[in-house]
């Protein structure tokens, strides 16, 4: 690590501040020509700039009445710091376009308040790397505001001094030392926001050495923010295009989109200074952005197993936050550069921009790219009204109905309207309305077991709403007694456990615990099982957890005592997302664990297979493609107890674990 740091200290030339180039000002996210284009188009009422302007003016942070809340240590709350930075940026943009001085004075007051208050290098209680978000945002906001004659020169110099003395070291040191972790431990977005900070501070403060640090890290940095690590794999598609698997695509889609936005900002700032990072490494950023955009339109993407020193064991692209578009308005910048300016096809980024247009703001991105990055109106044919959703299915479960349908034709929907009626009454009412959310599924848990319901779905976008689909019906079931041959055991002193079953969903089970006795400290573990002899395959889908449940999944034991030899495959460790195989080879011995996918989200499919004395563990996102986790040899007797379990901590609150597609097959 020490040699690595010395190498980058030499590479980046951190000893100086000698100016060898003349920076373009303003030249952060926007040049003077960009600002003039926005102003001119809004004055003419041209679309889509006019709609983007209207959206910005409605943002609470774009009001001249905003008041800053500066902190001496920005690390006390990076989120609060970001709020103030966004207000400074939005008010600066609003001043330039409208010419109204009160917005400039508001932005100036925010920047001055922080420059007067910050008196230390920030330290965060956690997520130190994410301090790069507000640091970069303040630098980008000030680069716009620097052209305002109302900002006194002394105040501007004081602001730059704050950036260099107190804030720049945070981003520099994070990229050098990563808070003492291994260089590949941190996520792409942690590196990327600090890379934005370096290039933005370099421009703002006319420091070529700092600017070059960010540029060098984008190209050659050892961490996961550099472009070859942010996009570790390229997939060549049948049509000749390339999709670049994103480093956080196996984690969740909110963070995958976050990193796309940050690296796009790095490239945009560099472009405004005459340096083309967009095209670096064969437009690798575009390949990564297209991958993330495609997956978040509910389209399939290829995936290669990914792991690093966090032991993520990502085996498939994560579904968590998939299709949630509105949190990350980052697509106009990418689409306008690649397809509009450079003529390089970016179909999935284009569709994301079209679905979100006009872009709004968000907590981690300035947003409003429809106003700030649109280059020509000819690039914006309106989307057609989306087609009627096809393939609607309703699957009944215990106290639930699972709905799913095919994504909208041409992927032109930016949301859906899900309606329900009592069966046969044709009195449909809105059950849920998706806006900027294109997930093609819904779970109805507000049902009366035994009652039948009709469901229908319509697709919507800014142009209009499709007709509703043909209705489908389902009747959720109550939980009944366990099927013949199944038994509920209460492992340890697990009093208050219950188990229910319904012959629906290819075998549905519910495990529950009541509230713990007052002062109770013993955790509870219900175990619904049947006895099986010889080799077998045990499968389930875990689709629900409620109340207090630490882990839930499959369990195989030699009997039902608390310390019996056993094999388990559960989800729930470390924030509820770790799948792991547990094993105890001898009675009373310790449990050993092998970690599966560290970002397994519900619903989760598990399978345990016995062949002789060897037990194999597999998991799957869909029950079709199975992924091997681990195997272990345990000399269990020929006849064992196999079934479902939940680990419920001692608590006054009960818990619930829900399963379906449960099967036990002899091999």
Q: Could you tell me the two tokens for 590?
A: 């310790």
Tens of pLDDT along 166-179?
999 999 999 999 99
Tens of pLDDT along 172-211?
999 999 999 999 999 999 999 999 999 999 999 999 999 9
> How wide is the angle at C-alpha 26 spanned by C-alphas 21 and 30, nearest 5°?
115
Across 33-47, 206-220, 551-565, least confident range: 551-565
CA end-to-end distance (rounded Å), the chain: 51
Tens of pLDDT along 391-407?
999 999 999 999 999 99
pLDDT of residue 212: 98
pLDDT of residue 442: 98
Mean pLDDT of 581-590: 92
Residue from 209, 216, 221 nearest 14 by CA: 209
For residue 163, what pLDDT band results from cuts at 50, 70 and 90? Answer: very high
pLDDT of residue 655: 84
Is 521 a residue whose pLDDT tops 70?
no
What three-state secondary structure class fits 655?
strand
For residue 20, what pLDDT band results from cuts at 50, 70 and 90? Answer: confident
As assigned by CATH, the class of the 393-474 domain is mainly beta
Backbone angles phi, psi at 532, to 5 degrees: -135, 140
**Greatest mean pLDDT among 282-291, 492-501, 555-564:** 282-291
Is 576 a residue whose pLDDT tops 90?
no
57 near 371, Cβ under 8 Å? no
521 near 642, Cβ under 8 Å? no
Q: What is the pTM of this model?
A: 0.94
DSSP 347: H
Is 273 a residue whose pLDDT tops 80?
yes
Please tell me the distance from the alpha carbon of residue 37 to that of residue 24, in angstroms, as a whole number. 17
What three-state secondary structure class fits 73?
coil
| CATH code for the structural domain at 487-666 | 2.60.120.200
pLDDT of residue 7: 46
Is 231 a residue whose pLDDT tops 70?
yes
- Side by side, which strands form the sheet with 592-595? 487-491, 525-533, 639-647, 551-557, 566-572, 578-584, 592-595
Is 515 a residue whose pLDDT tops 80?
no
Q: Where are the domains of the chain?
A: 393-474, 487-666
Q: What does pLDDT average to over the chain? A: 93
Please tell me the distance from the alpha carbon of residue 332 to that of residue 507, in angstroms, as a whole number. 47
pLDDT of residue 524: 76
Mean pLDDT of 422-448: 97
pLDDT of residue 609: 98
pLDDT of residue 518: 42
Is 563 a residue whose pLDDT tops 70?
yes
Is 513 a residue whose pLDDT tops 90?
no
Mean pLDDT of 617-630: 97
Q: Alpha-carbon torsion 272, 273, 279, 280, what sign?
A: negative
pLDDT of residue 18: 46
pLDDT of residue 561: 81
Please tell me the distance from the alpha carbon of residue 513 to that of residue 328, in angstroms, as a whole number. 39
Q: Alpha-carbon torsion 182, 186, 188, 192, what sign?
A: negative
Alpha-carbon Rg for the chain, nearest whole angstrom, is 28
Tens of pLDDT along 336-367?
999 999 999 999 999 999 999 999 999 999 99
Is 666 a residue whose pLDDT tops 60?
yes
Mean pLDDT of 223-247: 96
DSSP code per residue over 76-102: G-HHHHHHHHHHHHHHHHHHHHH--HH
User: What percent of the chain is modeled with pLDDT above 70?
Assistant: 94
Mean pLDDT of 378-385: 79
Is 5 a residue whose pLDDT tops 70?
no
Residue from 581, 485, 486 nearest 526 by CA: 486
């Amino acid at each position: 690590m020490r040699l690595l740091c010395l190498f980058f200290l030499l590479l980046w030339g951190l000893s100086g501040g000698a100016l060898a180039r003349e920076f373009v000002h303003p030249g952060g996210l926007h040049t003077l020509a960009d600002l003039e284009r926005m102003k001119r188009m809004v004055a003419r009422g041209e679309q889509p700039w006019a709609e983007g302007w209207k959206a910005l003016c409605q943002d609470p942070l774009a009001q001249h009445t905003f008041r800053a809340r500066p902190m001496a240590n920005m690390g006390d709350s990076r989120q609060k710091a970001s709020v103030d930075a966004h207000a400074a940026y939005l008010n600066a943009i609003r001043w330039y376009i409208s010419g109204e001085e009160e917005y400039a004075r508001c932005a100036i007051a925010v920047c001055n308040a922080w420059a007067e208050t910050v008196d230390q290098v920030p330290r965060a209680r956690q997520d130190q790397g994410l301090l790069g978000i507000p640091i970069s945002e303040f630098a980008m906001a000030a680069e716009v505001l620097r052209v305002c004659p109302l900002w006194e020169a002394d105040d501007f110099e004081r602001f730059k001094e704050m950036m260099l003395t107190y804030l720049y070291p945070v981003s520099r040191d994070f990229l050098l030392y990563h808070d003492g972790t291994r260089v590949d431990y941190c996520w792409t977005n942690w590196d990327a926001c600090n890379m934005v900070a370096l290039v933005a501070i370099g421009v703002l403060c006319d420091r070529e050495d700092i600017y070059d640090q960010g540029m060098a890290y984008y190209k050659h940095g050892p961490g996961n923010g550099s472009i070859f690590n942010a996009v570790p794999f390229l997939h060549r598609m049948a049509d000749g295009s390339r999709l670049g698997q994103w480093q956080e695509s196996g984690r969740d889609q909110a963070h995958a989109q976050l990193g796309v936005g940050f690296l796009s900002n790095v490239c945009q700032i560099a472009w405004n200074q005459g340096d083309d990072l967009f095209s670096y490494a064969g437009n690798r950023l575009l390949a990564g952005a297209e991958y993330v955009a495609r997956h978040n339109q509910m389209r399939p993407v290829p995936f290669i197993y990914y792991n690093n020193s966090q032991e993520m064991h990502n085996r498939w692209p994560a579904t968590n936050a998939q299709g949630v578009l509105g949190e990350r308005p980052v697509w106009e910048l990418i689409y306008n550069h690649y397809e509009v300016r450079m003529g390089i096809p970016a179909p999935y980024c284009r569709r994301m921009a079209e679905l979100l247009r006009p872009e709004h703001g968000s907590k981690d991105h300035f947003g409003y790219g429809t106003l700030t990055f649109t280059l020509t109106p000819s690039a914006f044919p309106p989307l057609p009204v989306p087609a009627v959703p096809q393939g609607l299915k309703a699957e009944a479960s215990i106290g639930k109905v699972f709905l799913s349908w095919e994504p909208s034709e041409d992927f032109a929907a930016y949301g859906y309207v899900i309606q329900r009626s009592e069966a046969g009454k044709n009195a449909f009412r809105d059950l849920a309305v998706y806006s900027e959310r294109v997930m093609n599924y819904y779970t109805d848990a507000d049902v009366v077991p035994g009652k039948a319901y009709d469901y229908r779905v319509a697709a919507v976008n800014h142009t209009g709403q499709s007709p509703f689909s043909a209705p489908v019906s389902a009747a959720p079931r109550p939980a009944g007694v366990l099927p013949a041959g199944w038994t509920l055991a209460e492992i340890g002193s697990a009093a208050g456990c219950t188990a229910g079953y319904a012959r629906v969903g290819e075998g549905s089970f519910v495990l529950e615990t009541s509230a713990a006795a007052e002062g109770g400290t013993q955790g509870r573990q219900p175990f619904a099982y049947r006895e099986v002899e010889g080799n077998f395959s045990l499968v389930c889908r875990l689709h629900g957890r409620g109340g207090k449940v630490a882990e839930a999944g499959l369990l195989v034991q030699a009997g039902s005592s608390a310390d019996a030899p056993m094999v388990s495959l559960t989800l729930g460790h470390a924030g509820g997302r770790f799948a792991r195989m547990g094993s105890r080879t001898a009675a009373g011995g310790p449990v050993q664990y092998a970690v599966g996918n560290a970002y397994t989200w519900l619903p989760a499919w598990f399978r345990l297979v016995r062949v002789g004395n060897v037990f194999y563990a597999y998991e799957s996102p869909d029950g079709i493609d199975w992924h091997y986790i681990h195997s272990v040899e345990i000399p269990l007797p020929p006849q064992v107890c196999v079934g479902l379990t939940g680990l419920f901590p001692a608590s006054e609150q009960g818990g619930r674990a829900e399963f379906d597609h449960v099967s036990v097959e002899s091999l």
